[in-house]
Amino acid sequence: MRTSFLRLWLLRQVLSLPAACLRFFAGGGVVYSNGRTLDPQIQFLWRSWFAGASTQPLSLTGKSLEQARQEWQDMAALLGTPAAARVRIEDIGAEAVGSPYGPSPMRGLLIRPAAIADDAPLLVFFHQGGGVLGGPELSRAFCALFAHEARCPVFIPEYRLAPLYRFPAACEDARAAFEWAQANAFRLGAKSGGVAVGGALTGAGLAARLCLDLRRDFKPLPVAQLLVTPLLDLADPAIKSGPPTGQWPLAPADIDILISHYAGAGVDPADPRISPATEGVLAGQPRTLIVSAGLDGLAPQAEAFARRLLAARVRTIYRRYDTLPLGFDLFAGLVDDASDAVRDMAGLWTEMLRRVRETDSEPLDVA
């Protein structure tokens, strides 16, 4: 995939066509899964724009890990930063000459919106990719739009990837990144000094595990957590048996491949250390926003985790976006429904933080 402005401009023009036209160019018909209809722009990307490739774009099935990684990197580079997001993006790294953040092993992307709310926390977001693919750039588009809409700075740290570095390497890096961000919150743009955590897919699992570990160790918790299409139970049998219909860019077979790389041999996928959903006690967790997609085989995990948090009297918001597939956050700057979903998330996030500051009595549940 060539990363050119002209290609992206052309793609945006095509995606602005009516839904009926997009479905016609995608072979006609409507893609359904469990009674939900796939967004026509996603359907067009899947079955028309990228259909000329010898293997299914972004899928991990039938290709080398290096090829899959390159495809995800190329897609992230093609989409870039959403035009609507007024943000500044900085590379954070230990080797940065004259870095204002002090000596640190942390590396990643810092996204600062043009306007930062005085009470907004810094969001430490663990990127998309299943703990195997890419790096912070995979969540660049999503986090840029979220930062703009929520008026909060976002830090996307690098963490070690499998299969070269299997579990628990990513967990260790996630905790180190959070603790570093806590110590540097003001310099990273959080006027309030508060720090929240979040992530997508396995990154969301890292965020959930981090909060559980901090509670266990009697350490200060994040002010909130954002879990986007979370992978919380690696032992879930539904991952292998789920229907692939409409589930692009990530189908059940792809999730199974990611898990095999991430966990590796000798690791029990039901162990709470790698599958936070199997943790026995969830009490005392920070306020939580959980997001899933309509065509998302992991949505039952997200819903079950949200119910358990509510039962433990944790302030929790759950939202499912019916027309979108697992992995939709990659298209946050391109697909209209994905962009709208991110804007809605940002609104829920800021409302959740505001309401909890005003009252400390009852859990909050938004369906």
Task: Describe the chain by its helix, strand, coil percentages, rounded to 5.
Answer: 40, 15, 45
Please tell me whether residue 47 adopts helix, strand or coil conformation.
Answer: helix
Range of the domain at 141: 64-358
CA distances from 48 to 23, 63, 218, 308, 328 (A): 9, 20, 52, 41, 17
- Which residue do the tokens 């036209």 mark? 21
Please list the alpha-helical segments (H only) found in the chain.
Answer: 5-15, 19-25, 40-44, 65-79, 140-150, 169-183, 202-216, 238-241, 252-263, 299-311, 336-358
For residue 9, being part of any structural domain is answered with no
Q: Find residue 91's DSSP bridge partners.
A: 109
For residue 292, being part of any structural domain is answered with yes
For residue 159, being part of any structural domain is answered with yes
For residue 77, being part of any structural domain is answered with yes
- CATH number of the domain residue 316 falls in: 3.40.50.1820
For residue 13, being part of any structural domain is answered with no
Helix and strand element counts for the chain (H, E): 11, 10
- Residues 306, 365: Cα–Cα separation, whole Å: 9
CB 194 within 8 A of CB 122: yes
Please give the pLDDT value at position 248. 87
For residue 38, being part of any structural domain is answered with no
Local confidence pLDDT in tens for the 367 residues of the chain: 444 678 888 889 999 999 999 999 998 889 888 788 999 999 999 988 877 666 788 888 888 999 999 999 988 888 888 888 999 999 988 554 445 555 557 899 999 999 999 999 999 999 999 999 989 999 999 999 999 999 999 999 999 999 999 999 999 999 999 999 999 999 999 999 999 999 999 999 999 999 999 999 999 999 999 999 999 999 999 887 766 666 789 888 899 999 999 998 788 999 999 999 999 999 999 999 999 999 998 999 999 999 999 999 999 999 999 999 999 999 999 999 999 999 999 999 999 998 765 544 344 454 4
- Residues 139, 126: Cα–Cα separation, whole Å: 8
Please give the pLDDT value at position 286. 97
Please give the pLDDT value at position 83. 86
Please give the pLDDT value at position 246. 63
Please give the pLDDT value at position 4. 64
For residue 300, being part of any structural domain is answered with yes
Q: How many Cβ atoms are within 10 Å of 335's Cβ, its own excluded?
A: 22
Q: In what order do the strands lie in the sheet with 87-92?
A: 87-92, 108-113, 154-157, 122-126, 195-200, 224-228, 287-295, 316-325
Domain count, the chain: 1
Strands 36-37 and 87-92: unpaired
For residue 52, being part of any structural domain is answered with no
